[in-house]
Amino acid sequence: MAHSTPLRPLNFFSNHKSHRNSTVKLTPLPKNLQLMTWKIQCTAAKHSVCSYQPSSWSYDFIQSIGDHMNHMEVEEDAGKKMEDEVRCMLENENVELLVLIELIDDIDRLGIAYRFQEIIDRALERILLQSSQVEQKIHENLCSCALCFRLHRQHGYHVSADIFESFKDSNGDFHTSLATDIEGMLSLYEASHLALDGESTLDKAREFTSFHLKNMLENMDMKSATRVRHALELPSHHRMQRLEARWNIEMYDKQNKANQLLRKLAILDFNLVQKVHQRDLQEASRWWRHVGLANKLSFARDRLMESFFWTTGMIFEPQFSKCRVGLTKVVKLITVLDDIYDVYGSADELEQLTNAVDKWDVDAVNDLPDYMKLFFFALYNTVNDMAYDTLKEQDQVIISQLKKVWADLCKAFLREAEWRYKKEIPKFDEYLDHGWTSSSGVVLLTHAYFLATQNITHEAIKALNDGHGLLRFPSTVFRLANDLSSSKDDIGSETAKAVSCYMHETGTSDEVACAYMRKLIDQNWKMINKENAYSSGLFSKCFIQTAQNLARIALCQYQHGDAHTAPTDRSRNRVKSVIMEPIHFTK
């Protein structure tokens, strides 16, 4: 997981050990000497002392979290009873369709839609089939129109943006009279983030609503202003689901018309899912301690809790414990691998490790230094165990796919090391074509597919091998969000990152380059939205959602700096709110 800000190469003629902020100016060398120089610089920088902060979460603390057995069965029984009541509400064919739409939205926002996925899909299909009966009411109400559109797109239905034409004037612009409708504007703003590439109506909707919602903030009541600020900071479609569910549950408690049944179920469900997450975390923690890399490879970031938080962002549903534990192992191994390539290994060692992973042969590690042998066997055994479990459970041989994505990641990290030590800044397009692989998103999503999919297909495997859009676009968001979080630290350095490559190539300022990166993130979200609508025949809804969630957790973890490399009180509080602190029911 390419999160770290790598150390700079040592000035070969300097006695200073601390070199993170130094810049070495060298006379350009002939091309035939560049590789030799790179290896000398790598060797000089080898085994540098890192300044990563220690883990905030000890093994003993993690093992002490929660009380998993007490009251679990009683709470689950209570949840099933409430779930049956909500199911009856969704299946009630006499309920007004607009009421049904609002009910589905509440269920979605409160984080309990996974309990009702099939019945929600049937309800949304029923709404589409009866659209003629709803059309007039929808066209009269901006909030309901935008809500109906957003819910269908979120759940993978391709509905046309032409539904908003009735809210536009003869010039194709949205009526300015809509600007005073706070609920309608907020609903349209949220819907605009479900846009596909080329949908100018939704682009206009986003610009129109953003402008007017910002201007109206000072005149709103406190509750409305809180919701609007939250949305303007990051729309719900781009937010990590568990954090957003908790925020909505706590806000829902303050609404005058709160459905108390939904609220009770959402609180109970959040706490039950949290207990499952705690159990998964403890299992992953025991594995991490058994592997022993944290003690042996002290230069690497020890981020077990943050790694697990990534996995809850990717796939939170309680039935996917195996996937969460497996992905936590993957994130931990990626983090250590990244630090080997970024801050510790010499040029020769990095090439040897890349070759060893590419061959996936234990004999290939004989010449590696001891620390790399430890890492290679940890990687080799962990990935082979996952492949064995899949073979045992589904009669599918997947080791070739898994070792390929690890080898590709090592090659990508090696290329970045070459750029760094040669002080080479590639063209922006070259960097981005490379960067979505080096983000590690492909490794995460490939493992997630095999860990969470019940019916693995050859067609899906081929699509993964070919770099399907569900891998590429979330991984590109991952890469850009990562680079944006560290752009200030990289200005003036030779580190190849998206912002620095764009600035170097175009001559623009940091501010302009960062704005362009954010625009690219939006563009990639449009492509993700398209895959959500058109990939259901190839991948399960679960995997499509997991791919979207990779982009969401990346935006979450890089929203206020790099929460993986340098956790802050803010990021630790987010971890606590999802994994440790239950929601207390208050009347």
CA atoms of 406 and 523, how far apart (whole Å): 28
CB count within 10 Å of CB 253 equals 16
Q: Provide the pLDDT for residue 135.
A: 58
What are 444's two structure tokens? 């995460």
Dig out the tokens for 288 from the structure. Answer: 């991490």
Residues 385 and 216: their CA atoms lie apart, in Å, by 56
The alpha carbon of 539 is separated from its chain's Cα centroid by a whole number of angstroms, namely 18
Q: What residues contact residue 438 under an 8 Å CB cut-off, 6+ apart?
A: 2, 409, 412, 413, 415, 416, 479
Contact 202, 195 (CB under 8 A): yes
Pick the closest to residue 334 from 326, 368, 541 (CA basis). Answer: 326
Angle, vertex CA 487, rays to CA 559 and CA 20, nearest 5: 115
Q: How many residues does the chain have?
A: 587
Output the pLDDT for position 74.
77
The DSSP line for 335-360 is HHHHHIIIII--HHHHHHHHHHHHHT
Class of domain 94-238: mainly alpha
Rounded to the nearest angstrom, the gap between the alpha carbon of residue 491 and the centroid of all alpha carbons in its chain is 25
Note the pLDDT of residue 255.
62
- In this structure, which amino acid lies at residue 444? L
Residues facing 338 on adjacent strands: none
Residues contacting 71, CB < 8 A, separation 6+: none
Return the HEC string of 56-123.
CCCHHHHHHCCCCCCCHHHHHHHHHHHHHHHHHHHHCCCCCHHHHHHHHHHHHHCCCHHHHHHHHHHH
Chain region(s) in the chain for CATH 1.10.600.10: 267-580
Contact 167/134 with Cβ under 8 angstroms? no
Q: 568 is written with which tokens? A: 């802050």
Q: Do 357 and 345 touch, CB atoms closer than 8 A?
A: no
DSSP string, 265-286: HHHHHHHHHHHHHHHHHHHHHH
Q: Counting runs of H as helices and runs of E as strands, what totals does the chain give?
A: 27, 0
Q: Do residues 202 and 165 lie in contact, with contact meaning Cβ atoms separated by under 8 Å?
A: no
Tokens 């018309």 locate to: 257
516-553 burial by CB neighbour count: b if 16+ within 10 A, else e?
bbeebbeebbbbbbbbbbebeebbbebbbbbbbbbbbb
Give the architecture-level CATH label for domain 267-580: Orthogonal Bundle (1.10)
CA atoms of 63 and 12, how far apart (whole Å): 46
Token reading at 309: 């938080």
Q: What is the reported pLDDT for 42? A: 47
User: What are the beta bridge partners of residue 174?
Assistant: 168
Q: Is 0.85 topped by the overall pTM? A: yes
Q: Return the H-helix or E-strand segment holding 168.
A: none
Q: Which residues contact 287 (CB under 8 A, 6 or more apart)?
A: 325, 329
Exposed, middle or buried: residue 14 (CB in 10 Å: 0-12, 13-18, 19+)? exposed
CA distance to 158, 395, 409, 450, 544, per residue, from 460 (Å): 22, 16, 20, 10, 12
Q: What backbone torsions phi and psi does residue 168 show, to the nearest 5 degrees?
A: -115, 155
Model pLDDT, residue 30: 46
What is the chain's pLDDT, residue by residue, as a tens digit (587 residues)? 644 443 333 222 223 233 333 333 333 444 444 444 444 444 444 555 457 888 999 999 999 998 655 667 778 888 899 999 999 999 998 888 888 999 999 999 999 999 999 999 999 998 888 765 555 666 678 999 999 999 999 999 989 999 999 999 999 999 999 999 999 999 999 999 999 999 999 999 999 999 999 999 999 999 999 999 999 999 999 999 999 999 999 998 666 566 899 999 999 999 999 999 999 999 999 999 999 999 999 999 999 999 999 999 999 999 999 999 999 999 999 999 999 999 999 999 999 999 999 999 999 889 899 999 999 999 999 999 999 999 999 999 999 999 999 999 999 999 999 998 888 999 999 999 999 999 999 999 999 999 999 999 999 999 999 999 999 999 999 999 999 997 655 444 446 899 999 999 999 999 999 999 999 999 999 999 999 988 888 999 999 999 999 999 999 999 999 999 999 999 999 999 999 999 998 76
Tokens encoding 146: 């935008």
Neighbours of 200 (CB within 10 A): 10
For residue 143, the number of C-alpha atoms closer than 13 Å in the C-beta half-sphere is 12
The whole-number pLDDT of residue 68 equals 57
Structure tokens at 451: 């860990």
How high is the pLDDT of residue 82? 94
- DSSP secondary structure code for residue 491 in this structure: T
Question: Is there a contact between 112 and 269 (Cβ–Cβ < 8 Å)?
Answer: yes
Judge whether 482 and 490 are in contact, CB under 8 Å: no
Q: Give CATH 1.50.10.130 domain extents, the chain.
A: 94-238
